[in-house]
Amino acid sequence: MNGEQALELFRHLIQVAIFIAGPVLGASLVAGVSVGVLQAAIQVNEASISFIVKVTTVILVIVALGPMLVAREVDYARSSFVAIEHVVH
């Protein structure tokens, strides 16, 4: 294995990690900012409201996109196990 192949494996790892974590983190960010703006507008500063909304949003995203995210992760794991032969050789 040369440096270019190792860089390609690392690039693929980063892409899969972003693909899996991106939707969950993005939804959590949008929910947190929305609740923050709403709380600022109505002057209710309760941390548990924001926490509950973010947790609920993350759970809904995982339920909705979970099968697609897991399928991508399994495909990456399979390709990594196949690539072991080329890495060790």
Taking only the tens place, the pLDDT of each residue in 74-89 is 999 999 888 888 777 6
Are 1 and 89 within 8 A, CB to CB? yes
Q: Calculate the alpha carbon distances from 83 to 11, 23, 78 in Å.
A: 14, 27, 9
Q: What is the pLDDT of residues 5-51, one digit of tens each?
A: 878 888 999 999 999 999 999 999 999 999 999 999 999 888 899 99
Total structural domains in the chain? 1
User: Domain of 78?
Assistant: 3-88
Handedness of CA 49, 51, 56, 57 (dihedral sign): positive
Instruction: Write down the pTM of the prediction.
Output: 0.79
